[in-house]
Structure 1
Amino acid sequence: MGLAKKAMVLFWMMAVCEVSMGSVYKVGDSAGWTTVGNVDYNKWASTKNFLVGDIIIFEYHKQFHNVMQVSRSDFHSCNATAPIATYSTGNDSITIRWPGHYFFICGFPGHCLAEQKVDIRVLRASHPSASPSVSPSAAPYESEPAASPIGLITPNPSENSAPSLLSSNWSLSSKFGLSIVIVLASYISGFVY
């Protein structure tokens, strides 16, 4: 009976670790953020379930592309003259802070018109370790975020560091490592008590 209890606690702790970390999404998957290959970014986004706390990574050649967060109307008209935020490192890691729609385009001439744009729809549900739930005064789910990138989508401190594939793999390995630590701690505590 004691072993069954320990196993149940162990599995519960591992489950908590797994769901407490946001997912990492590389925009366009292996293609990245580009005009080459006719990537359908909105089709790509429609296959994902973005949640508050997730990380969106834009990987691209900074000599040829950038990433601009824009309003809904600027997204549809491909207007890059008044972006909410501009990212240009070639490896931009953006943490989603609130539910709603986030509109991104490439600001290089002609790229948005060539469909280098994506509407990231973030669901209301969040990972347990993400920011507290949205207050009633926050924007409703269907609306676009306010015209300020601060607090809505913020670059990760590591945006100028290792390539995003390493960031993605690090996230996966950190989950595994944390699970191993919990398993060992549970196992050792079982022998101590």
Structure 2
Amino acid sequence: MVIVSVSSYQFQVGGKRGWIKPTGKQTATYNDWAAENRFHVGDTVYFKYQNDTVLLVNKEDYENCIISTPISKFEDGNTVFRFDRYGFFYFISGQPGHCKAGQKLIIRVMVHPEVEPPETAASPKAGGGSSGGKGWDSDFWGPPGLSSATKLSVASYFMNALEGMFVILYLFM
């Protein structure tokens, strides 16, 4: 059995205080906290709360604090949300008035930059005549080797496929 570590991180929203309605005494908002972190596909955010809900909403509902049409609603008090794509995710409290008081959060999940393959160079030619071998084709040395960019690309695809298998296994456990 091969064990491969897939790097992901769990962030606790609001730190020790958790997901609560701001009282006005806090100097930092949830979005200030999010701006200090880098989120990637596979990372999770943990919302700890009491007598509240977490709503995943679209941008318009986020901006206007509309709680009636969430994409997803969580109300268990210990919500772990996994980012399955890059882009923006909008969260608001489902309690009336909490969003307008500042209990809202935008998280931008980063795109991993693609590796640009280096330009290929012409294959070196063997310096004719020094080998002295009769009938030897000095231009043929077998198939070309993989470049480091190709190896990295193959490894990246393998890791993504492996992560997908872990997610599927997790869902069926």
1:46 to 35, 40, 44: 35
1:22 to 5, 8, 12: 8
Label 1:114 to 1:22 Cα distance change in 2 as closer, same or farther (>3 A). same
1:118 to 98, 105, 109: 105
CA distance in 2, matches of 1:131, 1:46: 30
Q: TM-score, normalising length from structure 2?
A: 0.60
CA contact under 8 A between 1:52 and 1:130: conserved in structure 2?
no
User: Is the counterpart of residue 76 in structure 1 residue 63 in structure 2?
Assistant: yes
CA distance in 2, matches of 1:103, 1:131: 27
- Deviation string, structure 1 residues 72-116 (Cα, Å, up to 9, x no partner): 010000001100000000000111100000000001010000000
CA distance in 2, matches of 1:92, 1:50: 17
Q: CA deviation at 1:125?
A: 1.6
CA distance in 1, matches of 2:93, 2:105: 9
CA contact under 8 A between 1:26 and 1:58: conserved in structure 2?
yes
AA in 1 matched with 2:66 = N
1:102 to 63, 85, 89: 89
Q: Unpaired runs of 5+ in structure 2?
A: 114-155, 163-169
- Deviation string, structure 1 residues 110-160 (Cα, Å, up to 9, x no partner): 00000000001100129x64579xxxxxxxxxxxxxxxxxxxxxxx86xxx
Q: CA deviation at 1:59?
A: 0.5
Label 1:131 to 1:42 Cα distance change in 2 as closer, same or farther (>3 A). farther
Question: Match for residue 55 of structure 1?
Answer: 44
CA distance in 1, matches of 2:49, 2:101: 16
CA contact under 8 A between 2:46 and 2:81: conserved in structure 1?
yes
Q: CA deviation at 1:36?
A: 4.5
Higher helix content, 1 or 2: 1
Q: CA deviation at 1:35?
A: 1.3
- Deviation string, structure 1 residues 157-188 (Cα, Å, up to 9, x no partner): 6xxxxxxxxxxxxxxxxxxxxxxxxxxxxxxx
AA in 1 matched with 2:71 = I
State the Cα RMSD in Å: 2.2
Q: Which runs of 4+ in 1 moved over 4 A?
A: 128-132
Question: Match for residue 35 of structure 1?
Answer: 21
CA distance in 2, matches of 1:101, 1:112: 18
Q: Unpaired runs of 5+ in structure 1?
A: 1-15, 133-155, 158-193
CA distance in 1, matches of 2:161, 2:69: 28
Greater relative contact order structure (CA < 8 Å, 6+ sep): 1
CA distance in 1, matches of 2:76, 2:160: 25
Question: Match for residue 162 of structure 1?
Answer: none
